[in-house]
Structure 1
């Protein structure tokens, strides 16, 4: 009996994946492959730049920041191109650029060549990620209309597949890095190249050939979004989530170092987050989709994230001093599992279908810009007393939850969004 109960979430999750229509299975598999190839390289890039190439710490930080900007900041470009040309050519172009970028990075030895390769890798994601995400959202809506399956359940499979890739990728990279030195990093880059070659081949054969979602050229997309108050509120709420999520790389390492004297245990907390998403995302979203309207799921998720920050100074150190960090990671990840599918599922309700790709990209780009300012501000607070630091961080997603409550509660958002702008 115990074994059967323990296997139930995994069996249920597998059923959700195999129950997807073939095209949605392709898109979910794409997200898994993207993250596997990407995270086989990214976690080890800073060490390669600093130890392998001898770059100064500030230069390493600059290179990593440029990668983030070329990816997150330019999502809006990939979204606009998807609306204009359809998802297939944009995804294929992104794969080609990612293949070239990883191959170049493997042998780049100067600052200029490293920066160029990293920018190419980031821009590749700015092309294919909005294309795949907007196509998944569109297909999730079609599935909901066809058989009544809540779009959040479909998007949860997509999120879980991506997180599974983010979990597997670093393991693959660490095995390849065992070769040591430059050859280990080059082996990791070669694995990334191989993954994206396979993704390119699969999509060249399997992705539908259609010129664009709409035959006419979409016009006035930016104006449409800028005059759409509900979409702007969603961007605001989602931005607070990304600012909070970025604290996994800023405030959490500082907390782990304070509690344990080093950051050696940080990897265990990241593994905890990934395992929570892989094992619980689909069952949690399946139940939430029945019981919670998208606005409620978004608001509840942000409130859980806020609670995670607020509880850090109030949680006893516990075993190894990691209990406050574990509480933060657990609540932040649970909030993520509720709010991310809800936010992505709301986008088709809030914007004209002709601008879905642009809106999907804009949601990430606006949030990415907010993270730049939010990270700088939170960095200034790292030396503040714990109640001040964690209270200020908790206030950000709490403000996002208040903003999210201004959104339409459910599917009625559709017509309101389509008439805006």
Structure 2
């Protein structure tokens, strides 16, 4: 099961990064779209995907991760086919909405499979899953550049094929993961609302999700901050390659260490340090390669540490057959903070050097505050040792 999910991650991520690295240039130069139109349409994808994470996670729990994953890949395949055929704003908008729905379904489905395997395979499986995604982030853009020699239509067709392969691989997961198979029968149709209600009433996990929500903003906003420092394309490419390589390299060390809050705190503080290093580096051609490389290492550590820690925290706290809705809530809150943060940071970056300094200082401060207030939900054993009587719902949530 781990091998299938990692294979899916590698195939679809190569296709995704191959297209997304070049889609803006295609829309701008090949289709002649205005920058404002492109920005709004791509923002719609992020917003729709974030809004759907919670119901998509609940749906994963009801119909199963294999069916959800196959549906997600099929929708993404259709989205990239539409993207390749789009010649105006209407077709582009339809493609990104379908892409958003598929993305919201894919992540809880894939991670639910990994969460359901035996503990000795779970950490290594998720590490391999992250490594596959990061390697694809490095190899995808050059692959896309090669395929672009045959036109954007060829690139989108190959990516569509990669997602079709992902859908077919999900159909091989006929057997339930062991940890899921041993539990109670899968929830019925009412499980959608019951799952959402249960996770929202789990105050311990909700508090954790709120304090950890800035992690996505802190690890992804650098993709906007660095290009707007006017670094040359070669330096920018090197920066993001270092981020991906470090995030992948740290995964073997992360496995099994998610029980400690220090893993997630270290990731958040690494992101904060990365923004301070970017603040210390001059803009444009005078940028220090050494400082930018150090910042890339910090952001790579932040990405690798936070992804592993968050997965292990949800796996530990989600009750049987509720991993999807739990990770959906965390993704929903993280996406909302990321979207709001993007709308805040963007205008500051447009304001020149003072605004850029304010944005990066604010991001570093947010990382420090989030790390300081972070509290992982208590595992069931701690609740039992405390000798206190938990409320029935909380007991059902905490005890596997």
TM range (shorter): 0.7 to 0.9
1:155 matches 2:112:
no
Counterpart-to-counterpart distance in 2, 1:386 and 1:114:
31
Deviation string 1:313-368 (CA, Å, 9 cap, x unpaired) is 34689985333332222101112212211111111222322321111122112111
Counterpart-to-counterpart distance in 2, 1:130 and 1:158:
13
1:349 matches 2:320:
no
Find the counterpart in structure 1 of residue 387 from structure 2.
none
SS of residue matched to 1:40: helix
Change over 3 Å in CA distance of 1:418–1:163 after alignment to 2: farther
After superposition, where does 1:108-147 map in structure 2 within 5 Å?
Answer: 108-139=86-117, 143-144=118-119
**Which shifted more, 359-368 or 213-222?**
213-222
Counterpart-to-counterpart distance in 2, 1:150 and 1:399:
34
Find the counterpart in structure 2 of residue 224 from structure 1.
198
SS of residue matched to 1:265: helix
Find the counterpart in structure 2 of residue 308 from structure 1.
274
Find the counterpart in structure 2 of residue 8 from structure 1.
none
1:233 matches 2:203:
no
Give the alignment's TM-score, normalised by structure 2.
0.86
Counterpart-to-counterpart distance in 2, 1:202 and 1:363:
27
CA contact (8 A) 2:47 2:339 kept: no
CA contact (8 A) 1:160 1:281 kept: no
Deviation string 1:113-155 (CA, Å, 9 cap, x unpaired) is 111012112211212221111221222xxx22xxxx3844432
RMSD: 2.8
1:366 matches 2:336:
no
After superposition, where does 1:329-344 map in structure 2 within 5 Å?
Answer: 329-344=296-311
Deviation string 1:364-398 (CA, Å, 9 cap, x unpaired) is 12111111111122223323266543321101111
Counterpart-to-counterpart distance in 1, 2:172 and 2:317:
33
Counterpart-to-counterpart distance in 2, 1:329 and 1:411:
37
After superposition, where does 1:196-215 map in structure 2 within 5 Å?
Answer: 196-208=163-175, 214-215=185-186
Match of 2:30 among 52, 57, 67: 52
SS of residue matched to 2:204: helix
1:249 matches 2:218:
no
Counterpart-to-counterpart distance in 2, 1:61 and 1:173:
21
Counterpart-to-counterpart distance in 1, 2:382 and 2:111:
20
Shift of 1:65: 0.8
Deviation string 1:44-87 (CA, Å, 9 cap, x unpaired) is 11111111111111100011111222333322232111111111
Shift of 1:185: 0.8
Q: Which runs of 5+ in 1 are unaligned?
A: 1-22
Counterpart-to-counterpart distance in 1, 2:381 and 2:135:
33
Match of 2:141 among 156, 163, 170: 170
Change over 3 Å in CA distance of 1:408–1:198 after alignment to 2: closer
Q: Which runs of 5+ in 2 are unaligned?
A: 385-389
Find the counterpart in structure 1 of residue 159 from structure 2.
192
